[in-house]
Structure 1
Amino acid sequence: MIVLGISPLDKDATVSIVEDGKILFAAGEERFTRNKQQDGFPAFALKQALAYTQLTADDIDIVAYPFLEAEQEKVLFTKNIAKESQVITQTDTSNLSSLLNQAERKKSVRTDVINGLKNANEKHEKGVLKQIFYKLAGTNSWFSKIVAKHESNKWAKEAELSFSQWQDELTSQLNKLGLSDKLRRVDHHLSHAANSYFSSGFEQALCITIDGYGSGLAGSVSIAENGKFKRLAEIDYPYSLGTFYEHVTSSLGFKPSRHEGKIVGLAAFGDPQVLTEVLLSRFIESAGNFKINQANNIYFSRYLASRFSKIDVASAYQNVLEIVTQNMVAYWVKKTGISNIVLSGGVTANVKLNQRIFAIEQVKQIYVYPNMGDGGCASGAALFFSPPKTFTQSISHCYFGPDYSTQEMETEIIANNLSYSKPEFLAKEVAELINQGNVIARFSGRMEYGPRALGNRTIMYHAKEVEVNQWLNKKLGRTEFMPFAPVTLFEARERCYLNISGAEHTAEFMTITFDCTEEMIQQCPAAVHVDGTARPQLIKRETNPGYYDIIKEYEKLSGIPSLINTSFNMHEEPIVCSPQEAIKAFLHGEIDFLVLGDFLIKHPKITET
């Protein structure tokens, strides 16, 4: 059976083609339009998918879409928001002022230098009138309740229009392709559960899904066993940890649904205890579930951001996210006795959260779907209708995008009048260049599926100098608080990371952090965050021989089994897809060398000197 999965059209539109449980092709529309998190019908990605798999629309048996009919979605979220209104009315917030005063006394003045901030005490301050409004709308017991209800109702109206718009576009585009009668819909969180379970290799698993919104929910807990799902708990929208984290992202001056990783980076510099009790007062926790009081009131986080330092606000939000999620997962692990955890949903892009879930005493193995956000729902929905025949086989890679021929690459090199060679021992020569202090971009094979660069569209550098976080980010036009992530030889994993057993598979996809060993901290300071953690990609030779060989040759030269791996793209652009885009980014970023397939290209600035 051949299933075409199409992710939600509201952002990061993605296509996946699955045949009998095997992903044949998967890629986001952004890679072809060059517009980050491209919304709308993924026409370019679909065209590429059909061409790559040599299929036509007639060959498709099912078109899978991970949302219900627009009217059904409306019924679900309208009912939930009406119930939320009662919770807001009944919840006592009279202790908030006292908690905020206690938080004020916990503040401290810092002199640390934090790259990307003017100073360690920087707040996201606004004008006086805005700050007064934020305080009233966010913390006043009477007025904030009115605002919270208003914001939820406003969200509902916008969501109704959005679902109607994207449903019309989906139907229209499928009609043009003659595929509308093949459309099958699946509950959003079931598509998240399906992608994580069916690619995990676990016969039995506890599926945890956490995101912003999907089919009336913001999360779910299910048992998956022998290809079947049994839902145990539902986190009703608007009690959304996705919205919770989007609020702090926006309130600290970043783009929600895009820059949440910056909050994770900032959090490590702050003191979580300053505001943790304030934030926890918003949560109403029960057995394996929770509610968030005034969940859609963004003015609460904006008030905190204007009153407290960015790093303390970020640290508290990260800490509370971890506490609430750990409590929920630990409850269901203990209740079910299941020690294999699989995660999906946009919130599980939070690699520190995933480490904390793995730290739960009863959890023995963890796996996070590589494309955990809504883009991954395309494959999840497709896998739901076309599951694998056996449930103990995991995916070994996520190189599911397009690749390009040697001739296509050479043609593009010549068109740009670049100096190049075709070394007999490419990996050895590249390793020597890295060891000498050169920055190398690598473009080879099929493009990675999902948000992480995993070697085929990657920039590499040695991790011996911590200063690289400043100058390379500047060269690439980025502002980051996290260090670059490392790629590490699989066999060296225990030399570099603590407590990694049971998480090795998900670490192949750069979806979880670990505490680093002293050897890693000393040898690779550029890849270790201020809190002593790193987010590695473990690499096996059978997964990606060309990439592995470079790191292995570098280890022979330096004794170090890790390199920096950062995505091959310029700031705010998608990861490169084609040779043309690779060369453009290579030249614009002034990267020293480009590995384009079997070719090694010097940057013109080097050739000229």
Structure 2
Amino acid sequence: MTAILGISAFYHDSAAALVVDGRIVAAAQEERFTRVKHDAAFPTRAVAYCLEAAGLTSADVDFVAFYDKPLSKFERLLETYLAYAPSGFRSFRLAIPLWLKDKLHMRRMIRKALGDGCRARLVFTDHHESHAASAFFPGPFDRAAILTLDGVGEWSTTTVGVGEGSRIELLEHIAFPHSLGLLYSAFTYYCGFKVNSGEYKLMGLAPYGRPVYKDAILEKLMDLKADGSFRLDLGYFNYCQGLTMTGDRFHELFGGPPRSPESTLEQRHMDLAASIQWVTEEVVLRIGREAARKTGAENLVMAGGVALNCVANGRLLREGPFDDVWIQPAAGDAGGALGAALFVWHQLLEKPREPRGRDAQQGSFLGPRFGDAEIGRFLAGQGVQASPCETEDELYEQVAGHLADDKIVGWFQGRMEFGPRSLGARSIIGDPRSPAMQATMNLKIKFRESFRPFAPAVLRERASEWFDIDPKHESPYMLLVAPVREEKRTPIDPETLRTMEDDPDLRRRVNVVRSEVPAVTHVDYSARLQTVDEDRNPRFHRLIEAFERITGCPILVNTSFNVRGEPIVCTPEDAYRCFLATDMDVLVLEDYVIVKDDAARKAGESVRERYLSQFQLD
């Protein structure tokens, strides 16, 4: 037996992953255990979980693979500060203590965390090699082009490579400070959202605007070539030397200072979001075409934070040169832990890989699970009188009935998801036919901006009937956007359309019914698609089937089981607290169905303020 522990830490979303004899046994982000969103600390609890899930101790680990090379990253940091000295001194002064305390001593920290009994060999992989490995090795293809895009690793910000059999090779790269991820984050910051978490918001805001600034971006901010390579004019940015993303020239170009967080969104911000989204999609399409030309591959795999831009991914699949595209579900830094472990197994140990036309990610259900006995003890301790459903069919019919009655349900089943998306293990679900569902979920459950769209979870075999997606393609990890089919759309009269386009109140715009499933139809008729199949996710699939039997609709609204500023719930206790503190109607913990009564609603009033105060708004 060969056990390889992968670790990512200290930058964004620390995580651990365990691979045993080439099989992915467990993977989880540290934030799910500590309840600190995007926790970047060393993933002590995630490591402990992975070992426990495999029935191993640290003494059983043969290799520990860290997802990047801290010394190379430190070299880039020093070179950048020296290039901009003395203007970057404040940023330098804040960064250096953390490097001297922790990041430069990764070997010592890993040894200390795993204890004296661990004799594992330590391996440090290149950041983008880790991303590439996380994309190719678990993917479904024997041969594929590889595209990795993020803010920055050691030096690379974008790479093109190829994977074949059990080996990967990176062929080209774009180097820091020229970065598509940092460019997108600059607009995230400028529009008043938090860097490294608000990019989703910017993507969701884009359809409300028009790309009127795209020419300014391409003429002033970046020199984009036909092959997708580019250079940024760094005079507009501040991320190399300062504590902010954008500089005075950027602010002058786009009409004023950055938007203050939580302040009113103006049409200008929506147009800026639409413009940078347009440019991002154009860059991804061009690089994708270049990757196909350079590798001759028919399929593509992707990873890195920019690979979470599901709108760009959808366009690349529809308009690009590839037969199929597979994106690592944990495409950001967390997935680097998994990639590093798989890199050791396949690339360094030269172990064979046998793709079978379906990915080896196991639906990305790689986190902890909790049985009925444990849940029953927890509920009894909370004074909740509940019994598990006697049969699965009873469970599905009961929950589907609540959903059809316009109830909002917390759905907690099986192993927790690895990656940023809830995929039917830790989900909040609802009826997509309800015109008010999107606003209700956003404002009363998630406590977040009303403009943000929700994803449709649709039976895979029915997806192409409702969305413009080829039946041969799937989107199990909610990483592709597809348009709602024309025949499922609801016509909007021209006067309403004109009024809506000029309405500054996004709540009124989002509440306009655009299709038969308005709760999952964005203002541009797009939907962030999750296809649900019986093999990966049998319980969620059967629940949607039960809902379809009642309503005729094979779709549910699916959003992550958390409130704004909180990580996705991990334990039954996390789920129950979130249930009490929000306006959720029903909580399903494995086979237990808890319907909120008046007493629970009253208890929730006292829980809510205390609960929400724990989490920092993002």
TM-score of the two chains, using structure 1 as the length reference = 0.84
**Partner residue of 2:264?**
none
2:480 aligned partner? 512
Q: Is the 8 A contact 1:420 1:602 kept in 2?
A: no
Q: What is the root-mean-square deviation in Å for CA atoms of aligned residues?
A: 2.4
Q: Which amino acid aligns with 1:545?
A: P
Q: How far did 1:578 drift?
A: 0.5
**1:360-401: CA deviations, max 9, x gaps?**
342211011000000110000001011373242412411100
Residue 296 of structure 1: how far off its partner (Å): 3.7
Task: Describe the shift of the 1:564–1:201 C-alpha distance in structure 2 as closer, same or farther (beyond 3 A).
Answer: same
Instruction: Tell me, yes or no, if the aligned pair for 2:67 and 2:337 is still in contact at 8 Å.
Output: yes
The equivalent position to 2:218 in structure 1, one of 272, 280, 289, is 280
Once the two structures are superposed, the pairs formed by residues 419-568 of structure 1 within 5 Å of their partners are: 419-423=385-389, 424=391, 425-476=394-445, 477-501=447-471, 503-504=473-474, 507-521=475-489, 522-568=515-561
Matched positions, count: 541
**Which deviates more, 332-341 or 482-491?**
332-341
Taking the TM superposition and a 5 Å limit, the aligned residue runs for 1:11-30 are 11-30=12-31
The answer for the alignment partner of 1:219 in structure 2 is 158
Residue aligning to 2:231: 291
Is contact 2:478-2:529 (8 Å) kept? yes
What's the CA shift string for 1:548-576, capped at 9, x where partnerless?
Answer: 11100111111111010011112210111
- Offset at residue 608 of structure 1 (A): 8.4
Distance 1:181 1:438, change over 3 A: closer
Query: Alpha carbons of 1:541 and 1:606: their partners in 2 closer, same or farther (altered >3 Å)?
Result: farther
| Mapped contact 1:5–1:15 kept (Cα < 8 A) | yes
Of 233, 240, 247, 2:179 maps to 240
Deviates more, 1:508-517 or 1:476-485: 476-485
Letter of the 1:366 counterpart: V
Shift in CA distance, 50/600, structure 1 to aligned 2, threshold 3 Å: same
1:304-356 CA distance string (max 9 Å, x none): 26377110111111111111222222122123322211110011111111112
Which secondary structure does the structure 2 equivalent of 1:213 belong to? coil
Secondary structure of 2:38's partner?
A: coil
Residue 500 of structure 2 aligns with which residue?
A: none
Residue in 2 that maps onto 1:409: 375
Please tell me whether the aligned partners of residues 572 and 589 of structure 2 are also in contact (alpha carbons under 8 angstroms): yes
Give the match's secondary structure for 2:150.
strand
Amino acid at match of 1:389: P
* SS of match in other structure, 2:363: coil
- TM norm structure 2: 0.83
The 5 Å alignment of 1:324-363 reads 324-363=283-322
SS of residue paired to 1:543: coil
Alpha-carbon distance in 2 for matches of 1:551, 1:404: 22
Deviation at 1:533, TM superposition (A): 0.9
Structure 2 alignment gaps of length 5 or more: 239-245, 258-266, 490-514, 603-618
Q: Quick check: 1:270–1:312 contact (8 Å CA) kept in 2? A: yes
> In structure 2, how many angstroms separate the alpha carbons of the residues matched to 1:608 and 1:333?
56
Shift of 1:417: 1.9
Which whole-Å CA distance do the structure 1 matches of 2:598 and 2:26 have between them? 37
Question: Does the 8 A contact of 1:440 with 1:593 survive in 2?
Answer: yes
Worse-superposed segment, 532-541 or 370-379: 532-541
Distance in 2, Cα, partners of 1:474 & 1:315: 24
| Corresponding residue for residue 174 of structure 1 | 110
Matched, 1:75 2:75: yes
Question: Equivalent residue for 1:389?
Answer: 352
Pairwise CA distance, 1:465? 2.0
Q: Aligned in 2, Cα 1:280/1:502: closer, same or farther, shift over 3 Å?
A: farther
Aligned counterparts, 1:156-235, within 5 A: 162-168=98-104, 170-176=106-112, 177-178=115-116, 179=118, 182-235=121-174
Shift of 1:217: 0.9
- Equivalent-residue separation in structure 2 for 1:158 and 1:531 (angstroms): 43
Q: What is the CA-CA distance between 1:238 and the residue it aligns to?
A: 0.8
Contact 1:418 1:602 in 2 (8 A): no
Instruction: Rate the CA distance shift 1:243–1:346 in 2: closer, same or farther, 3 A.
Output: same
1:17–1:379 Cα contact (<8 Å) kept: yes
Secondary structure of 1:601 counterpart: strand
Is residue 524 of structure 2 the alignment partner of residue 574 of structure 1? no
Displacement after TM superposition at 1:73 (Å): 2.5
SS at match of 1:338: coil
Q: Deviations over 1:446-478 (max 9, x none)?
A: 111110001110111001123222122111212
Q: Kindly tell me: are residues 530 and 277 of structure 1, through their superposed partners in 2, closer, same or farther at Cα, counting changes over 3 Å?
A: same
Q: Which sits farther off after the overlay, 150-159 or 577-586?
A: 150-159
In the alignment, is the contact (CA less than 8 A) between 2:463 and 2:469 conserved in 1? no
Q: Aligned-pair distance for 1:76?
A: 4.5
In structure 1, C-alpha distance between the alignment counterparts of 2:157 and 2:574, rounded to whole Å: 37
1:407: Cα distance to partner? 1.5
Matching residue's letter, 1:569: N
Q: What is the alpha-carbon distance in structure 1 between the residues aligned to residue 345 and residue 594 of structure 2?
A: 43
* Residues 80 and 237, structure 1, Cα contact 8 Å, conserved in 2: no
- Greater CA drift, 236-245 or 359-368: 359-368
In the TM superposition, residue 213 of structure 1 has moved relative to its aligned partner by 1.0
1:81 deviation in Å? Answer: 8.2
Q: Work out whether 1:306 is the aligned partner of 2:276.
A: no
Report the secondary structure of 2:558's partner residue: strand
Q: CA deviation at 1:171?
A: 3.1
Please give the alpha-carbon distance, in whole angstroms, between the structure 2 residues aligned to 1:404 and 1:411. Answer: 11
Task: Tell me if 1:249 matches 2:202.
Answer: no
Cα distance in structure 2, aligned partners of 1:74 and 1:15: 22
Q: How far has the Cα of 1:519 moved from its partner?
A: 4.7
CA distance in 2: counterparts of 1:234 and 1:81, whole angstroms: 22
List gaps (5 residues or longer) in structure 1.
Answer: 86-147
**CA positional deviation for 1:498:** 0.9
CA distances 1:77-117 after superposition (whole Å, capped 9, x unpaired): 656788xx7xxxxxxxxxxxxxxxxxxxxxxxxxxxxxxxx
Q: 1:121-161: CA deviations, max 9, x gaps?
A: xxxxxxxxxxxxxxxxxxxxxxxxxxx88777876776665
Alignment of 1:46-65 (within 5 A): 46-65=47-66
1:24 and 1:247 mapped to 2: Cα distance? Answer: 37
Match in the other structure for 2:589: 596
User: Contact 2:560–2:568 (CA<8 Å) still a contact in 1?
Assistant: yes
Aligned to 2:59, the other structure's residue is in SS state: helix
Alpha-carbon spacing, 1:574–1:61, altered in 2? closer, same or farther (3 Å):
same
- The secondary structure found in structure 2 opposite 1:309 is helix
Evaluate the alpha carbon distance shift between residue 323 and residue 216 of structure 1 in structure 2; reply closer, same or farther with a 3 A threshold: same
Measure, in 1, the Cα distance between the counterparts of 2:558 and 2:172: 38
Instruction: Tell me, yes or no, if the aligned pair for 1:2 and 1:386 is still in contact at 8 Å.
Output: no
Distance, in Å, in 2 between the alignment partners of 1:302 and 1:514 is 34
Any idea what SS the aligned residue of 1:25 has? strand
CA contact (8 A) 2:49 2:368 kept: yes
Letter of the structure 2 residue corresponding to residue 586 of structure 1: F
Cα gap change, 1:591 to 1:338, in 2 (>3 Å): same
Q: 1:368 to 1:165 in 2, by over 3 A?
A: farther
Paired residues of 2:165 and 2:352 also in contact (CA < 8 A): no
Percent of residue pairs identical: 30
Decide whether aligned partners of structure 1 residues 318 and 355 sit closer, same or farther in structure 2, where only a CA change above 3 A counts.
Answer: same
CA distance in 2 between counterparts of 1:44 and 1:38 reads: 11
CA shift, 1:302, in A, is 4.1
Q: Does the 8 Å CA contact 1:367/1:503 hold for their aligned counterparts?
A: no
1:400 matches 2:371: no
Matched residue of 2:438: which SS?
helix
